Chain A
Amino acid sequence: MELILELAAQTVQMFGVLVIAPFLLGITRKVKARLLRRIGPPMFQPYRDLWKLMHKEAVLAHNASWLYRVAPYCVFATTWVAAALVPTYSTGLIFSWSADLIAIVALLATGRFALALAGMDVGTAFGGIGSSREMMIASLAEPAMLLVVFTVALVAGTTQLSTIAAAFTEAHVGLRVSLGLALFAFVFVGIAENARIPIDNPATHLELTMVHEAMVLEYSGRHLAMIEAAAALKLTLYFSLLVCLFAPFGMATTDRSIAALALGGAAYLAKIALLAALLPIGETAVAKMRVFRYPIFLGGAFAAAALAVFLLFVSRGL
């Protein structure tokens, strides 16, 4: 009975992220449209898009290899696993031992690798340029992300997300410049990884500025649905990570009663809905960057994260 309940809790988390992911995207698009004084699509539009794409015929290029067909599922699978591992409403779920920050970074990198290969598979110029840019962004964002991981791990003493969240909810961490800097770097990395403005425009059809969209330009039907769902899941994953690392209050930790779990769920939903509304507000305030400015943008994130690690060493002693 215990085991079944534990499994049920994990399943709720796993399918929960999958179900809310398109809705978050819907909120983001709606707020963005309202800020631009447009009405915007209804918030449930991403679900309908996915449904429509699932029932459309998948068109394949003549010279597409097996890689091209497998990549969307690979991307979706890695992103879903990563998103399902991040603690959302409760810590200490049955698979929490595997929810390691470094493992999540590695899972995302695997998905990105598959997508970049698929972008180059058909041999069109756009796919190639998209893959090349995506890898450039990744090579700049990943070091910053790992330094953020180190910062959090140094404060909490572990890289396991569930334990970190529990530690930050209960223990007295104090005022930390390092965590503030890490949050700053994390937001930058998240913007770059999720292909949002100012790095990439998710709604663009102007070829010169495409990064993510250029890679998936050849996809259609159920393959495209998988990729779109993976993109929505990735956004949810970054929101959940942000909530879990920097604002885990409200999360159910030791108290496993229904009320505590419900409170955790409600707090989680409120927090990510707030983030989904904040993202487009930030986006409308800035302009898209030139490609050659990316290193400076992400270099800033790297510098902030490195500074965070250094500051921790000052206060702890070597």
Chain B
Amino acid sequence: MTSISFDVAHLLAGSMLVLSFLLLYQDRITATLNVFALQAIMLSLAVAWQALIQEAPHLMVTALIALTVKGFVIPAALHRIVRRLGIHREIEQVIGGGPTMLTGLGLVALSILLVMPVGQGVSLLTREDLAFALAVILLGLLMMITRRNAVTQIIGFMSLENGLVLAASGAKGMPLVVEFSVAFSILIAFIVFGVFVFRIRERFDTVDVSALDRFRGERSDHS
């Protein structure tokens, strides 16, 4: 059990989970972007390690895609967007740092409890990867819910996708086509998000999505 391959996989996947928590914890946008880039780099390392121990060279391609696209291209582009929007110094009001962290811990416990009975038949390594991946996905969702800034919501979505890739790399035999399509859909989503953010900004002079609440049908009486 304490073989080195297991330990390294545990270390990398565990670090991804820790970085997910760090994402929840950060309230400065540029710091959030940097943590996200770090998480993507960690993801590519984790996937590369899986490629080594599963002897599946196509996973190396996945790792490379994760490293270049999510480790460098998307964070750099987001940095540009943030600077052009002039919000790079903004401190976001995270909704209750403490409760969010506690909820996050609860979600991690939940994902562990969920994966434990399901993955009884598979190896410890796969089971653990699945538990971590599910936790990262749930934390990404939590981040999308608790943040009000459109840019940090995008980061929440991207870190959710990191969890998906981690889960996919843990399961043996993911075809490369799937990986490519996921990578492209992420890029498309990113472009759509980028346009979307600028449109919000143009119309409402802010990227705080709570400004959109006024335009929901049921609250038309409100202000």
Contact residues of A with B, CB < 8 Å? 172-178, 181, 295-296, 299-300, 302-304, 306-307, 310-311, 313-315, 317-318
Contacts and interface: CB of A to CB of B under 8 A. Distances in A.
A299 B101 contact: yes
Given A175-B8, A175-B10, A181-B18, A300 B25 contact: yes
Interface stretch (B69-77, B84-92, B104-112, B166-174): B104-112
A310 B138 CA distance: 15
B21 A314 contact: no
B10 A315 contact: yes
Given A175-B8, A311-B14, A314-B128, A299 B21 contact: no
10 contacts: A176-B7, A176-B11, A178-B14, A181-B18, A295-B97, A296-B98, A303-B21, A303-B105, A307-B21, A311-B17
Contacts of B132: 314
A299 B128 contact: no
A314 B131 contact: yes
Contact of B10 (A177, A304, A307): A177
B124 A315 contact: yes
Nearest to B14: A177
Nearest to A300: B25
B105 A172 contact: no
Nearest to B12: A177
A295 B98 contact: yes
Given A174-B2, A315-B10, A317-B116, A307 B15 contact: no
B18 A315 contact: no
Contacts, number: 65
Contacts of A173: 2
Most-contacted residue by chain B among A176, A177, A181, A302 (CB, 10 A): A177
Contacts of A302: 101
Interface in B30-69: none
Please report whether the interface of chain A is mostly helix, strand, loop or mixed according to DSSP. Answer: helix
Given A177-B14, A307-B105, A311-B14, 6 more contacts: A173-B2, A174-B4, A175-B4, A313-B112, A315-B10, A317-B124
The 7 closest A-B pairs by CB, nearest first: A177-B14, A175-B7, A174-B2, A174-B7, A303-B101, A175-B11, A314-B131
A172 B14 contact: no
Nearest to B3: A174
Contacts of B21: 303-304, 307
A303 B104 contact: yes
Given A175-B7, A177-B14, A177-B15, A296 B112 contact: no
Contacts of B104: 303
Contacts of B11: 175-177
Given A299-B97, A317-B124, A310 B10 contact: no
Contacts of A181: 18
A150 B183 CA distance: 41
A45 to B, nearest CB: 39
Most-contacted residue by chain B among A175, A181, A296, A314 (CB, 10 A): A314
